[in-house]
A and B are shown apart, each in its own frame.
Chain A
Amino acid sequence: MTDQLPGDRESASDAAPPLEAWEVFRQEKEGDPMRHGGSVMAPDAVLAVHYAREMYGRRQESVRLWVVRRADVHDLSDPDLLQPPLDRSFKKPGGYVMRDKLAAARKQEGTAKPSGGRRRGAPPPTSGGRSQKSTGAT
């Protein structure tokens, strides 16, 4: 938003400027990340900021807003690029998914899962399979 004077008068035209979608990001308090709040429709950036202020800031719920023309956002949603079909769990910080392989090995050996579990206060097990709840993989 600006208190400055506008540019020269636009070319004469009766046609109303088309409405565009603008994405609004807001920061709830200083130091927080900017999070997507929603979107507004507006004919230009100045009004988009006005409307963002009314929709996402008038109840003092934001300390900063970012308003971005939706057309300026580069979209990537191709599943071949983002959700490849093969097991890529080795790319995760936890490494390979070991749970299923361990279970198969135990079954073959006829040994049960180590009993007793870990005692209260004991350190967590350090085996390779820590963060493997996320995606099932094969």
Chain B
Amino acid sequence: MTTIRATLAAGLDPSTRAALDELLLSMADDEFVIGFSDSEWTGIAPLLEEDVAMSSLAQDELGHAAALYTLLAEVRADGRDADAIAYDRQPDEYRHARLLDHGRGDWAMTIARRYLYDTADGARLEGLVASSFSPLRELVDKIRREERYHVMHATTWLERLAARDGEPRERLLAALEELAPDAATVFAPLAGGERLVESGVLSESMAGLEARWRATITPLFVHLGLPMPQVAVHPDRGRTDHREPFRWLWNEFTSVRRSDPVATW
């Protein structure tokens, strides 16, 4: 079965296709991991309405991940489907940003991580709105419309936690401090990243997108008196060497699949 999208991907030169593979895998893994992390709040969020909201956001992210894995499966055209890419890998083969490696933590940690990730993801999506690879451009157009709400939700909570002295602000500051070294890892350079820019798949380098991201979040951080995230300490390891909390999460989200790898669901 050959789709139009697969045909378009097959027409790319091998180095561009390899870089596109890296990009799609990193984006899909980001959405997949934050979706699973945040779904841990289902049933235990601070209030019923927030429980529904956070669970709904988590579902959105898993939906984006599914769409990206499906596109990646067509680009690879090696017979493995989206589920196989999503579930049939060892923890070290995942390429999500280390920002998403931190455990669920408390509510402040979840909000801090969501805010940093959603705004960074927003900057990355901006870099793809005019992508020369039309299947990705069309998908990004849909994803951006949902991510807009995600940023609003995270911003609303960040403002409230930051504005209330005492425990809320202290917990938020502690979470931002823990995440600081990894905050910018969404922009960790990808193998073949320069090919993505040369071929017009991505509008500019990850460093350029990171600068845009920082410019976007600076006014709010200054307004709320929050410390700006630092530059990644080891950008070359921004999407590898995953931490223990992710290994635990991997064990959880692959457990059903591993219980019967050949089952038809």
Q: A residues within 8 Å of B by Cβ?
A: 1, 3, 5-6, 9-10, 12-14, 19, 40-43, 46-47, 50-51, 53-55, 58
Contacts and interface: CB of A to CB of B under 8 A. Distances in A.
A1 B151 CA distance: 12
Contacts of A14: 164-167
Interface stretch (B13-21, B24-32, B43-51, B85-93): B43-51
B163 A6 contact: yes
A78 B224 CA distance: 49
Nearest to A22: B49
9 contacts: A5-B223, A9-B225, A19-B47, A43-B160, A47-B49, A47-B160, A50-B153, A51-B49, A54-B52
B159 interface: yes
A58 B49 contact: no
B220 A5 contact: yes
Contacts of A10: 163-164
A19 B49 CA distance: 11
Nearest to A44: B160
Given A9-B162, A47-B160, A53-B149, 7 more contacts: A9-B165, A9-B224, A14-B164, A47-B49, A51-B49, A51-B50, A54-B49
A133 B56 CA distance: 47
B53 interface: yes
A19 B47 CA distance: 10
A51 B165 CA distance: 25
A58 B160 CA distance: 23
A5 to B, nearest CB: 6
A31 B223 CA distance: 41
A53 B49 CA distance: 10
Contact of B156 (A50, A54, A55): A50
